[in-house]
Structure 1
Amino acid sequence: EGPPPAGEAAIVLARGEAAGSPEAYALDVAPSGVTVTAAKRAGLFYGAISVWQLAVQDAAKGPAQLPAVSIDDAPRFVWRGFMLDSARHFQKVETIKAILDAMAAHKLNVLHWHLVDDQGWRLEIKKYPKLTSEGAWRVPAGAAGRDPKTGKAIRYGGFYTQDQVRDLVAYAAARGITVVPEIEMPGHALAPLVAYPQYGMTKTPPRQNMGDWGVFPYLYNTDDQTFAFLNDVLDEVMDLFPSQYIHVGGDEAVKDQWKASPAIQARIAQLGVKDEHGLQSWFIQRAEKHINARGRRMIGWDEILEGGLAPNATVMSWRGIDGAVAAASQGHDAVLAPDSTLYMDRRQSASADEPPGRLKIISLKDVYDFDAAPAALTEAQRAHILGLQATAFTEHMRTDERLQKMTFPRLVAVAENGWTPAARHDWNSFTARLPAEMARLDALGVAHDTVPYEPQATLTPAEGGKVSVALASGLGLGEIRYTADGAVPTTASPLYDAPLDVAPGKTIRARTFLDGQGFGRVRDYPVSLLAANTRSSHQLEVCGNGINLSLEDDAPVNGQRAVFAVDLMNPCWVWKGADLSSALKLTARIGQVPFNFQIGADKAKIPLRAPATPAGELDVRLDGCAGEVIAAIPLGAAARGPGLGTVSGVLPARAGRHDLCLTFTARSVEPTLVLDQVTLTAAGKSGKN
């Protein structure tokens, strides 16, 4: 058959029977045209998305050629979500719309919107205007919070008006996406309590702490006037968001303020609940009654299981999958959103080029391999697993572009996990489609991380004054091709298969190719002995596994900032296998960051090493962090900041190779001194080669 006659539609969307869920559809592509059949609008929409995906899978090869196919398709899960934290960092409306477009293009159907936290209240509430006039603004910690010219505080923040929210909710709904709002209680409440302290446990909650990260002790009280306030807020929220579910948080509510309050202890006795966990359960159940009275359902983080679960509640399991298993075992619905696997604030590869975030690597493959049907559940209990959700807590995603790069392409893997049956999961098939997926994200105007595909170079000194260049990509996909003559690598360039010995002064240009297509950027690596003897903090080993971050500097206020690999609980770095057969000059570039982390009593566990000079020293120890100090390099003005400073000292010769442990002396964790990079050169040489 030829193309359809003039005047007839080439693509027909038809209402009809489609097996499975309301989102199911049937797709038939024939020479005469394309037909999508579904019982509901959602099914027609997803069928149309599939047509678009088929049409652009070979976009680089010219006009679309749709393959002849017949597909009956339905989602694996009803909840296929993404949580956006707008409280820690505020995103433009246009950015959220771009994310919604990308979600829709991959058949995700829930945007869980984290609008409230200690660092900011982002939703206009007409009855309580101070929530946004006071609670939506903070001063960032450290140098980032002060104008370098005037010294005046810089306010950071913003909020979404109710009109903007209605627009976003409608925009999402047109794309098959439900927006589920989250209003945190009883913890994560510093921002609203700065605005309205009468609803909290202290008369003057510390506004300055809104620039901190971590788990805060500030809780709502349990007075009737507080519930009147929360019910008023929830009423305006439910007027704005037509979603079936309303999220009330419930996580990380440190109970110290409740434990210390005679009034709260009297409340516990009056209610006859067991303890503070029982009081939180009562608190959440009281909120749930109000939500249920409006015909809605409550959802909360898995801590709402503690002290007894609210009767109609749904559990969002973030502390692994245990909360979902417990909830489903008790007959409650659950959504899987486990830390760390589906948390987008983890790095995607070991490269120092990755955006700031937590140092732990959660790769695209880790996300793709996540099992969304826990083996610990029976078939009947699995029916209570509504689905899964990726979570973007944005403490370290200061810009909208970083948010997108940390989220994509991993959110594409979450989408496939949520839609495709487990039996059809195939990493090789998924990676073969990645170039097309990246082209779609480009077409949608969404930034995405290409670093895990790209060749990363490790330079080390080699024989005869040359430099060994080892190339590898984070995901190990495709093949790496390179040039040393300045040309752009092509499929005809040499194939990398072993480390290269390169003369200083050359530049290695490298690119990954997947199925003959360039994948990721061309990367340039200038080769020098200085580079071969230099390691960034990300190339050194951090000593512990406490709070391990790829942490951005607080300066400059505008412009590029350094990013440090550091364990905040033990700031310590190790250079493995340094050749000390002759004396070496150690040159270190250092920075200092504000300790804006609320970690309670754990702060006292951070080791402090007494300084011998006013500004402290960089100590270099031999063969382990309890080893002999072979150099104590005074920091002087380099420690003052803001920004980076440089110090240097001589390491005496010792036979053979040794691990060097580098730590700072300091009287306080405020600020915390950090390494940016370290260079080892022959003592007495300038190191300019």
Structure 2
Amino acid sequence: MKMVSQLVIMISTVVFVSFCESLSYIWPLPWNCTWGNQTLSVDPSLSLLVNGNSLIVQQAFQRYKRIIFKHGSNLPPTGLHYHINSLHIFLKSDDEELQLGTDESYSLLVTKTDPHSIVGGITIQANSVYGALRALETISQLCIFNYEAKTVEIYKAPWFIQDKPRFSYRGLMLDTSRHYYPLSVIKQIIDSMAYAKLNVLHWHIIDEESFPLEVPTYPNLWKGAYSKWERYTVEDAYEIVSFAKMRGINVMAEVDVPGHAESWGVGYPDLWPSLSCREPLDVSKNFTFDVILGILRDMRKIFPFELFHLGGDEVNTGCWSSTPHVKQWLQEHNMTAKEAYQYFVVKAQELALSLNWTPVNWEETFNSFPEKLNPQTVVHNWLGGGVCPKAVSKGFRCIFSNQGFWYLDHLDVPWDDVYYADPLEGIRDVFEQKLVLGGEVCMWGETADPSNVQQTIWPRAAAAAERLWSNKEATSSRSSAQLALKRLEYFRCLLTRRGVQAAPVKNKYARTAPVGPGSCYAQ
């Protein structure tokens, strides 16, 4: 308690600077901070003192220590007296449960170590282990390697930062159906998400082209994979979820029904209405819903996140009406094909809800039959603007992914269009604003595979990440664009230093290679 009391006294003497506009190298921008004019060296033998027994915090400290001291870690001792030799983390709770809305706020104090005090160096206060993780990322960005002195230094100290996310849901969607990504690549993407403080990996595992996931209850489903070598075992999926959690990232899986499901019939042809009508899934058969329930039950054992994506987009019901047995079923149930689409979506929602999942659906379901959707439904916008305002006005929660700005496969969208798109656009009511969970950038995989996916994601995903994390008033002025560009260029170079294949910021088309020689910081 003495350490905490001393920390409170030190913090109380700090004068806040509202926002941090003049910072040149922290991304996303912290909410409030103050800084000084000192340069402090950091001991490569930096020690950690933390209350509680969080393995996540312990491992994160070691992970960030390797990042911070990447240069010179094997150099012999220099005999230097380092200004900072300890990192203290004070956690209100070391509970490691991770769900939507888990507190990620933190306070960070960086001062010169006082040999006469037990407080000094780097100090973090956080309500959860995941707030501590976000603070460690900020610290890693403050630490700069001095090539002349061969030491890690923190400039503009002492620092005091108070930070929190603007939105609870800050996502990246990864499509592993259009092209297969090995586990190592998915893990690299998860690591890079943590660098930008994103916290949800929306794993679009399955689509019409391939079904790569093992489903023990229906083992023939992954016959729909591209090959025997392009699959994910149950153990693989567990590994991804665990790896992501260690970085404060939830994994939301998606099973897109009833459309985008042709690959299911490779293993179970009865799921196709006919050989000439391979999607949508056959609405007339109980077997279809048995398979969906089996998939969901198996996946519920793997994915603990409370949200589950059921798709529901781009459903062309034409061949239901032209397939004899489905047409007969429609007539017997006095349904049109459009009404059968509604029936299918609602029934899939009921199955997910029975497993204690909250259903997420693409916006077509809301656009077509909002009054029939379960009230817990999260509407996922993608087609264009104005959907989230309509959804929240009817009491639904919403995720923003307007394809005009946040679809990363749209290579002609420049960084600033990504940056200035806002999930709350057109929503003025404070209660309705709270129904917008946040947003996500979407990495559809038709033209991306392990050879180019990272440079397609980054750095534009970071532009959205700051919009989802930082104070809107500090980042919304077009007059601040040059400051934002400077910081984003710096962050892009930070990503490349960490091994992330991020493309130059100002390319006319995303993932385009540099046009000529030059500094990373001027491309």
Please say whether Structure 1 and Structure 2 have the same fold, judged by a TM-score greater than 0.5. Answer: yes
Match of 1:485 in 2: none
| 2:340 equivalent in structure 1 | 279
| CA distance 1:510–1:448, shift in 2 (3 Å) | closer
Higher-Rg structure is: 1
Whether 2:269 is the aligned partner of 1:188: answer no
Q: What's the offset of the Cα at 1:277?
A: 2.9
Other-structure match for 2:359: 298
Q: 2:142 aligns with which of 44, 54, 62?
A: 54
Task: For residue 221 of structure 1, report the CA deviation from its aligned partner.
Answer: 2.6
Q: Which one of 25, 35, 44 corresponds to residue 123 of structure 2?
A: 35
What is the deviation of 1:204? Answer: 6.2
Give SS of 2:232's match: coil
Q: What is the deviation of 1:271?
A: 4.8
**What does residue 556 of structure 1 align with?**
none
The answer to whether residue 338 in structure 2 is matched with residue 288 in structure 1 is: no
Greater fraction of residues in strand: 1
Give, as a single letter, the amino acid of the residue that structure 2 aligns with 1:315: V
Equivalent residues of 1:368, 1:427 under 8 A apart? no
Query: In the TM superposition, what are the counterparts of 1:345-384 in structure 2 within 5 Å?
Result: 345-347=409-411, 361-384=412-435
Q: Distance in 2 between matches of 1:309 and 1:84?
A: 26
* Structure-2 change in CA distance of 1:452 and 1:221 (3 Å): same
Asked whether the 8 Å contact 2:259–2:280 carries over to 1, the reply is: yes
Deviates more, 1:47-56 or 1:93-102: 47-56
Residue identity in the other structure for 2:424: A
| Distance in 2, Cα, partners of 1:35 & 1:408 | 31
Deviations 1:416-458, CA, capped at 9 Å, x for gaps: 11100211114222222234312321233211112735xxxxx
Query: Closer, same or farther in 2 for the Cα pair 1:106/1:62, shift >3 Å?
Result: farther
CA contact (8 A) 1:189 1:220 kept: no
Compared CA separation, residues 406 and 59, structure 1 to 2 (3 A): farther
CA distance change for structure 1 residues 253 and 510 in 2, over 3 Å: closer, same or farther?
A: closer
Q: Equivalent of 2:190, from 95, 100, 103?
A: 100
1:174 to 246, 250, 256: 246
Task: Tell me the equivalent position of 1:519.
Answer: 522
* TM-score, normalised by the number of residues in structure 1: 0.57
Aligned residue for 1:436?
490
1:111 partner amino acid? L
Within-5 A mapping of 1:196-207: 196-203=268-275
- Highest RCO, 1 vs 2 (Cα 8 Å, sep ≥ 6): 2
Mapping of 1:508-657 within 5 angstroms?
511=517, 518-520=521-523
**Separation in 2, partners of 1:57, 1:406:** 28
1:302-317 aligned at under 5 Å gives the runs 302-305=363-366, 306-307=368-369, 308-317=372-381
* Distance in 1, Cα, partners of 2:122 & 2:198: 23
Change beyond 3 A, Cα 1:197–1:413: same
Please list, as runs of the form range in 1=range in 2, the aligned pairs for 1:57-456 lying within 5 A after superposition: 63-66=151-154, 67-132=157-222, 134-137=223-226, 158-203=230-275, 217-268=279-330, 271=333, 275-305=336-366, 306-307=368-369, 308-347=372-411, 361-397=412-448, 399-425=449-475, 426-450=480-504, 452-453=506-507
**Secondary structure, aligned partner of 1:183:** coil
Distance 2:319 2:498 in 1: 47
Give the match's secondary structure for 2:256. Answer: strand
TM-score (norm 2): 0.74
Give the secondary-structure state (helix, strand or coil) at the position aligned to 1:447.
Answer: coil
Q: What residue identity is the alignment partner of 2:435?
A: H
Q: Is the 8 A contact 2:389 2:426 kept in 1?
A: no
Q: For the Cα contact (< 8 Å) 1:56–1:440, is it kept in 2?
A: no
* Cα distance change of structure 1 residues 62 and 276 upon mapping to structure 2, 3 Å threshold: farther
SS of corresponding position for 1:37 = strand
Of stretches 275-284 and 175-184 in structure 1, the one that deviates more from structure 2 is 275-284
**Residue type at the aligned position of 2:423:** A
Query: Offset at 1:256?
Result: 0.5
Distance change >3 Å, CA 276–CA 421, structure 1 → 2: farther
1:172, 1:178 within 8 Å by CA — same for their partners in 2? yes
CA distance in 2, matches of 1:86, 1:331: 32
Note if 1:26 corresponds to 2:107.
yes
Gaps of 5+ in 2: 1-37, 50-84, 94-100, 114-120
Shift of the alpha carbon at 1:178?
0.5
Q: Residue 416 of structure 1 aligns to which amino acid in structure 2? A: E
Identity of aligned residues (%): 26
Deviates more, 1:338-347 or 1:6-15: 6-15
TM superposition shift of 1:512: 5.6
CA distance in 2, matches of 1:196, 1:182: 20
After superposition, the Cα gap between the structure-2 partners of 1:64 and 1:118, relative to the gap in structure 1 and judged at 3 Å, is same
Q: Is the 8 A contact 2:283 2:340 kept in 1?
A: no
- Separation in 2 of the partners of 1:372 and 1:195? 40
C-alpha distance in structure 1 between counterparts of 2:102 and 2:518, whole Å: 40
Q: Displaced runs of 4+ in structure 1, greater than 6 A? A: 1-8, 57-61
Change (3 A) 1:59 1:235: farther
CA contact (8 A) 2:258 2:312 kept: yes
CA deviation after TM superposition for structure 1 residue 58, in Å: 8.0
* TM alignment of 1:10-25, pairs within 5 A: 10-16=86-92, 22-25=103-106
Distance 1:311 1:57 in 2: 52
Q: Given residue 421 of structure 1, which amino acid in structure 2 is its aligned partner?
A: N
